A and B are shown apart, each in its own frame.
Chain A
Amino acid sequence: MLSTVGRALRNSSTPKTLFVGARCASTEATFEVAQCKLHKLEQGPATTVTCTKEDALKYYRQMQTIRRMETTAGNLYKSKQIRGFCHLYSGQEACCVGMENSITPEDSVITAYRAHGWAYIRGISVHGVLAELIGKKTGCAQGKGGSMHMYAKNFYGGNGIVGAQVPLGAGIAFTQKYLNNGNICITLYGDGAANQGQVFEAFNIAMLWKLPCIFVCENNGYGMGTSVERASYSTDYYTRGDYMPGLRVDGMDVLAVKEATRFAKDYVLKNGPLLIECATYRYSGHSMSDPGTRYSGHSMSDPGTSYRTREEIQEVRQTRDPITSFKQKLLESNLVTEDELKKIDQDVRKEVTESEKLAIADAVPPLEDMYDHIYVHPEPDFKVRTCDPVTMVASR
């Protein structure tokens, strides 16, 4: 019955109403999502997405956890607990949550250095992420990786070099094709990396070998401090694969992203690579050294020197925020109650705060660890040279 409704809606051309209908009150609901823009595709992802109450609460919790985690990371940075690099994912939560929920743990993901959200969604605890950021032994990379270098099973990390993860992702997809295991690789990059030459090299070989790879351009509007319009001749990133089919999805809508990813996984396993442009937004600066907005000067009318206005960010927060808008949808559909969401909010705060406390209390890695993990399974008495030519230290 539902599928009939869905089909009817897909054919209709009135995608105004957000909420379409709920079957058996508050266990499942169908939502309409914006139609994707397509490139070299005859048919795109469905424009209606059905979601159970359980899943809806799960997505909400996941997005809310990432948001709180990133807020906490920002605060830890501003209290000088976290040093060095730190790129926050706030605003982009729907991308990783939507995608993760359409793939399996056996599928692989590789991304750039805005990796905290992805690390969490791929299975690292909030504590593991925060401890890593603070540089503690309990961090997911034992405190030696930091913001840009977090890894989990089938999550090939945070990669520090702009665009360099794209060929690596093609390589991971090649493994999957080679093993013929029915898994895919999601290879993410930003709009800033989208003009890198190696990205197109990876596209070429992936197309040539029909690799099961979803290339995802997380377009948050700004490559560091440069808007996409100033950086790219064509800002239709979903068409930039040329011969590679692509689609643009609303990256602020978790359900749209989920549906697009489901479609894409199906597609790439049958046909080879597909390019998804996830139109999203980041609230923070590019990194912690970027205030993200103009310096305010002594008054708000000071034009400052930055690349976007605070008003722009506030407008996105109020009209397109992935969490707020999802919350609104869920409430309108009567799928969940406000109390249920409030409860999640509280749980999330509690979890993140406790993880933060733990992470701060954790020990830093001992100095002996400094020379470890250079090689996988080194010889038992393997030694490496230290910073002076005469001292050799054991490396495990």
Chain B
Amino acid sequence: MAASGIVRFGRRFSKHLLSTGLKEPNKITENGHYIARTFFTKCADQASTPVLMPALSPTMSEGTIVKWLKKEGESVLPGDVLCEIQTDKAVVSMEVDDEGILAKILKPENTADIKIGTLIAVMVEEGDDWRSVEIPVESESTPTEPVSTSQKSPSTEDHTKTTSHKELSIGPSVRKLLEEYNITAATVQPSGPHGRLLKGWKPENTADIKIGTLIAVMVEEGDDWRSVEIPVESDSTQKEPVSTSQKSPSTEDHTTTTSHTELSIGPSVRRLLEEYNITAATVQPSGPHGRLLKGWMTIPHSYISIESNIKAVSHLRKQLLGEGIKVSINDFIIKASAIALQRVPALNAVWQGEEVKMSGNVDISVAVATDQGLITPIIKNAAYLAVDEISSSIKDLAIRAREGKLQLHEFQGGTFTISNLGMFGISEFTAVINPPQTAIMAIGSSRLVAGEDGQPQTNMTVTVSYDSRAIDETNASQFLEVFKEVMESPSLMIVGSSLSSTLKVAGSY
């Protein structure tokens, strides 16, 4: 009875030989038939059943036989463990589901990295002479990757099919790329499974039409770029045409940033520009706006926010109004941050070359939108100015800024910047650091929220963007803590020197 001694992987093996068109189909089919026949009919005296390396985890591609638990000649029952295999995840037992005799072990213990499908042992039917087992001759070479070949065959088929069904096989990003460069999908060789067109496509042959297509891509990018970046005839372009074509839009972005400023304006700035009816093109590339962008690209930004109750400040402002003194909440904010910067000088620092220097003066740049773009006039020594002085100073600077009459020193050289979009209804935002400064504070609008006591209170959110190379989060949070305290107890703005903050570090300046 030679017919039923089949181990789970054995039948896989014979089937693979039959079904997968490998290099020598005739020979293999013949042999496969031989094996199959001996399994399932009684015509052969002895049927050997190959045992192949199984995939014992979904990601396993090869394994190591750690231990054979059955010896040659030993009989095996369903559920018995034949050997232990080290997969990519763990040591897993390989069970068999049939009975028989383990006739020959072909891969001894600790044979490393045996590929799935490799013949590792041969079994025979109970009662057969296991010593004279016939070992399938071609087993060493062909079954090493039976799975991949059989899986490949349908997909190769698909490649030819999919050119006609290309609408199905192009992802959105690839479609966009094709449209951008005006390439028809049919001219591109699909590189993905099932004939999917992937971005990493490759030209088929050097002399093929696909290369022409790629030249067209490069022309789209503009003459300068092509002649500098891509030598058309070189091998490297042919190897990776896509990466260059993918790179091109971003390269363009980098080089053209200054002229196409609309690309480089964040939403908050855009909003500001719109409010003031400024077209981005009129913004001077060399002005503070350009620097802001550069800052964002090169400075490692960290962000920290705090909510501050502005009830006291509003109250005080109304009081002053009643006395004919007109100041804005913004003026209080500048004063409070000036005091906070005095207390936590780490944020009042600027880069000098490779070094960060804490500045002796608190000179606060205040972002002002003008017809010519954003400009940041400076309130010098803001910590020592009274709120109404700050107010008049701002008014003067803003008027002259809009008239374009500011002198260089009046808008260059600040140590800290405040940007306030609260008057535009922006609840909170993050601003871009203005180098060589190391921090900028973004003020959102005030809004009514439920306080801890359940009573309504008016809060605003301030967000500090700081250069994490120069400032650590402790300093940043101390700064916001002091700022909040001063904002919520505006009397401290008058007696700044007796600030009751618990901050000990702050006193060092």
Contact = CB atoms under 8 A, between A and B. Distances in A.
B82 to A, nearest CB: 12
A296 B84 contact: yes
Contacts of B41: 346
Contacts, number: 128
20 contacts: A71-B98, A75-B8, A75-B54, A78-B9, A79-B147, A81-B147, A295-B90, A296-B91, A297-B91, A298-B67, A313-B79, A314-B80, A346-B4, A349-B6, A353-B40, A356-B15, A364-B154, A366-B161, A367-B165, A367-B194
Contact of A393 (B91, B116, B150, B167): B167
A334 B117 CA distance: 43
A64 to B, nearest CB: 11
Interface size class of B (residues with CB under 8 A): 35 or more
Tell me whether chain B's interface is mostly helix, strand or loop, or mixed.
mixed
Nearest to A291: B92
Contacts of A297: 91
A80 B81 contact: no
B61 to A, nearest CB: 9
A208 interface: no
B3 interface: yes
Interface stretch (B169-177, B250-258, B350-358, B487-495): B169-177
Contact of A78 (B55, B90, B93, B194): B55
Interface string B69-85: 10000000111110010
B50 to A, nearest CB: 12
A76 interface: yes
Contact of B154 (A342, A350, A363, A391): A363
Nearest to B58: A289
A71 B8 contact: yes
Q: Give the 5 A-B CB pairs with smallest separation, nearest first.
A: A388-B172, A78-B54, A75-B8, A71-B97, A296-B93
Nearest to A321: B78
A295 B77 CA distance: 20
Contacts of B80: 314
Given A357-B18, A367-B165, 16 more contacts: A71-B8, A75-B9, A78-B8, A79-B116, A289-B57, A291-B93, A293-B93, A295-B90, A295-B91, A296-B92, A298-B84, A298-B91, A314-B80, A317-B78, A342-B1, A361-B19
Contacts of A379: none
A349 B39 contact: yes
Interface of A: 71-72, 74-81, 83, 90, 283, 288-289, 291, 293, 295-300, 310, 313-314, 317, 342, 345-346, 349-350, 353, 356-357, 360-361, 363-364, 366-368, 370, 386-388, 391, 393
Contacts of A386: 167-168
Contacts of A299: 67
Nearest to B143: A79
B54 A367 contact: no
A342 B41 CA distance: 12
A393 B167 CA distance: 8
B92 A367 contact: no
A121 B79 CA distance: 24
Contacts of B195: 367
A346 B91 contact: no
B485 interface: no
B470 interface: no
Contact of A72 (B11, B90, B116, B175): B11
A295 B39 contact: no
A74 B98 CA distance: 13
Given A75-B12, A357-B15, A314 B172 contact: no
A342 B4 CA distance: 9
B66 A360 contact: no
Contacts of B371: none
B36 interface: yes
Contacts of B81: 296, 310
B378 interface: no
Given A80-B147, A361-B19, A356 B4 contact: no
A50 to B, nearest CB: 30
A283 B165 CA distance: 45
Nearest to B69: A300
Interface string B150-181: 11001001100110010111011001000000
A368 B168 contact: yes
A297 B81 CA distance: 13
A353 B97 contact: no
B439 interface: no
A360 B97 contact: no
Contacts of B431: none
Considering residues B18, B54, B97, B146, which has the most beta carbons from chain A within 10 angstroms of its beta carbon? B97
B161 A367 contact: yes
A391 B9 CA distance: 44
Contacts of A357: 15, 18-19
B52 interface: yes
A297 B151 CA distance: 32
A222 B116 CA distance: 30
B168 A75 contact: no
Contacts of A393: 167-168
A367 B194 CA distance: 8
Contact of A74 (B19, B97, B146): B97
A79 B146 contact: yes
Contacts of A291: 56, 92-93
Most buried by B among A300, A313, A361: A361
A134 B379 CA distance: 74
Interface string B27-70: 00000000010011100000000001011111000000011010
A328 to B, nearest CB: 15
Contacts of B58: 80, 83, 288-289
Contacts of A387: 171-172
